[in-house]
Amino acid sequence: MHLTQIKEILDAQVIAGKGDMNQEIDFGYGCDLMSDVLAYVQNNIVLLTGLVHPQVIRTAEMLDIKAIVIVRGKEPGSDLIEMANRRDIVIMTTKHSLFTASGLLFKNGLIGEEIAHNELTF
């Protein structure tokens, strides 16, 4: 799914990385816990999160995540936005909850990244 399409479906505002809206995303992943994102994400995803700590950008950087949707209408600080711009990471904000935003994208054909390993049997 194209980022422009994600923006439309979620009625989102692009607040960082504006130049790169033509990128294609393969899966979605929704999570407020960066520990979990680091443990489970392996593919080209859009990250939906309600966390607005600058470590969200660092986590995205380590995993080569190109786009983040901030849910529940939360407003990230200028430090987060600056970090995203410097790394060409697209940031959008939407008023929808994590559940609704995920559901809207899923309904339109974006599937979730499946969990590839079981943490408890590790």
Partner 1 sequence: MNLHFDVEGGEFISAGVASSKVKKVLKQLAIQPEIIRKISVAMYEAEINMVIHAHGGVIDAEIMPDHVHVVLKDEGPGIENIELAMKAGYSTASRLAREMGFGAGMGLANMKRYADILQIESEPGKGTTVEITVKLYPEQA
Return residues touching partner 1 (CB under 8 A): 32-39, 51, 53-56, 58-59, 61-64, 79, 117, 119-120, 122
> Closer to partner 1 at the Cβ: 34 or 46?
34
> Closer to partner 1 at the Cβ: 62 or 111?
62
Q: Shortest Cβ distance from residue 8 to partner 1 (Å)?
A: 28
Backbone angles phi, psi at 52, to 5 degrees: -120, 25
> Closer to partner 1 at the Cβ: 8 or 82?
82
Task: Tell me if 94 sits within 8 A of 101, measured CB to CB.
Answer: yes
- Assign residue 19 a region: left if phi > 0, alpha if psi is -120 to 50, beta otherwise? alpha
Q: Shortest Cβ distance from residue 11 to partner 1 (Å)?
A: 25
Sequence length of the chain is: 122
The distance from CA 76 to its chain's CA centroid, rounded to whole angstroms, is: 13
Q: Shortest Cβ distance from residue 23 to partner 1 (Å)?
A: 15
> Closer to partner 1 at the Cβ: 20 or 61?
61
Q: Shortest Cβ distance from residue 79 to partner 1 (Å)?
A: 7
CA dihedral of residues 105, 64, 18, 55 (deg, nearest 10): 90
